[in-house]
Amino acid sequence: MDVAKLDPRGRKVKILATVGPASRSPEMLEKLFRAGADAFRVNMSHGEHAVHAETIAAIRALERKTGRPITILCDLQGPKLRVGKFKDGRAVIRHSGHFTLDRNPEPGDETRVQLPHPELFGILRPGQRLLIDDGKLRLRVIRADENEILCSAEVGGVISDRKGVNVPDAVIPVPAMTEKDRRDLAFAVAQGADWIALSFVQRPEDVAEARRLMGGHGALMAKIEKPAAISRLDEILELADGLMVARGDLGVELNPEQVPPLQKRIVEKARREGKPVVVATQMLESMIESPTPTRAEVSDVANAVYDGADAVMLSAETAAGAWPEEAVTIMDRIASEVENDPGYAARVHFIETRPDPTTADALAEACASIARTVPIAGIIVFTGSGSTARRVARERPDAPMLVLTPSVITARKVGLLWGAHAVATKDIGSFEEMIAKGKRMALRHAFGTAGSRLIALAGVPFGTPGSTNLLHMVTLTGDELAKHSG
């Protein structure tokens, strides 16, 4: 076991790195972890199950080597709407000209192409938009019936086989999960994935269906990438365990200027509910090819950290880029610099998180208040399910949080939680054992030294879920430090 890696990162926001051809080897996974990656995303849109199983096994082997719980998130692809094929593999849609999408399977040309999604023909109305190839081509519906959709090309250009179609102005009557997604979900559950990210969420029913299929295994993260999801965000958040701001598709289906305020709104709502929120897509996009990011990208990452997001995500930068380790290193440096800014605390607390009228919420708020009033080296949270850790993290306390849990599943799950350093350890049975173990673990994981004060938060009777009712201040002594060092 690499004892050096038992220490906390020194920052509270987490880094989620996507695994792909550039990073799936055990050697590169370890480099990314040591550079600062706290969790790994397995993108089910690409690759076979056998390859993903090897990746997950390598991450679990790294976990055993370092002695640190490592979070794995499996990201489902979701349904993909695409046009059919063209006679020459491509065609040119004339700007301001007419173009028809129909149900005819014959290869298309510059006037028409098949749209092999019959469910779309009955819902589209005049004036609604169709965005093709990530918005590079923009069509406006003139007339739609059961067989044809006649459009005007607001932005024309080259269109080729199987390009993607976005429909931002309508709720599409397709489930969030395809048959492939169901197979991928079953695989991810069988592999022990800690989080499942659900794509193409439009309705709370989408989240409920995925949760039913998960059967109580893992946590569910709803990706907010469709305008339809925004209008029902509260309902979706209530059913999900966390949210991901998927800015790629949001930026296609919405005007670009709408995405930044929407990102802040989603982060704010998730924080108020005490559920992890990940900001994703194009954070350090230029580092796919360049060893250094642009200044705008650095500011983008910094703004997400200032907003208090639980995690920031790297996509192609680590999955397929030329500089995966450097991308993680730079993201780690940006986050650390922001959190060391004297103005960070005021910025991250601009969202008021009112506690629910429960003992557990009141004590979580008290932890943050104490940490602001007196010097606190850390907050020790004893939890079985992770709910107490989420309550404390919602308050964004100044002190880091040492989460002690008898469940390795819980330890992995809280790996995306702001400020949480989770450790799987044996359960406690008494108050005295709690204090002794809390001090011992705090010293072992560098949460203080002689004279350091810590807060311990737990529930009595011990081992009873949802019973958080005890807050205790402890001070580390020189004798304890000497015993630990010896």
Q: What's the half-sphere exposure (Cβ side, CA atoms, 13 Å) at 415?
A: 31
Active site residue 41: yes
Burial 236-252 (b: 16+ CB within 10 A, else e): bbebbbbbbbbbbbbbb
Nearest to 195 by CA among 314, 277, 73: 73
How far is Cα 237 from Cα 231, in angstroms, rounded to an integer?
A: 12
Taking the CA atoms of the chain, what radius of gyration do you get in angstroms? 24
Exposure string of 285-312, with b = 16+ CB inside 10 Å and e = fewer, is bbbbeeeebeeebbebbbbbbbbbbbbb
Tokens 């299929």 appear where? 213
Q: Which amino acid is at 431?
A: F
> What span, in angstroms and rounded, lies between the C-alpha atoms of 299 and 294?
9
Alpha-carbon separation of residue 189 from 183, 210, 213, 241 (angstroms): 10, 12, 9, 16
Are the CB atoms for 166 and 246 separated by under 8 Å? no
Q: Which of 14, 41, 232, 264 is catalytic?
A: 41
- To the query of whether residue 281 is one of the catalytic residues in this protein, the response is yes
**402 vs 377: CA distance, rounded Å:** 10
- Here the contacts of 399-406 (C-beta below 8 Å, separation 24 or greater) are 399/371, 399/455, 400/8, 400/12, 400/447, 402/8, 402/378, 402/438, 402/441, 402/442, 402/445, 402/447, 404/380, 404/437, 404/438, 404/441
Omega before residue 8 within 30° of 0, cis: no
Q: Which of 281, 388, 405, 468 is catalytic?
A: 281
Q: Which of 5, 31, 82, 453 is catalytic?
A: 82
Given a contact cutoff of 8 angstroms between Cβ atoms, the answer to whether 279 and 246 are in contact is: no
The DSSP code sequence of 441-457 is HHHHTTS--TT-EEEEE
φ, ψ dihedrals at 59, nearest 5°: -65, -40
Residue in 223, 226, 391, 394 annotated catalytic: 223
Distance of alpha carbon 457 from alpha carbon 434, whole angstroms:
10
- Under 8 Å between Cβ of 148 and 100: yes
Burial class for 218, CB neighbours closer than 10 Å (0-12, 13-18, 19+): buried
Residue written as tokens 């359960």? 427
d(CA 302, CA 297): 9
Residues with active-site annotation:
41, 82, 223, 281
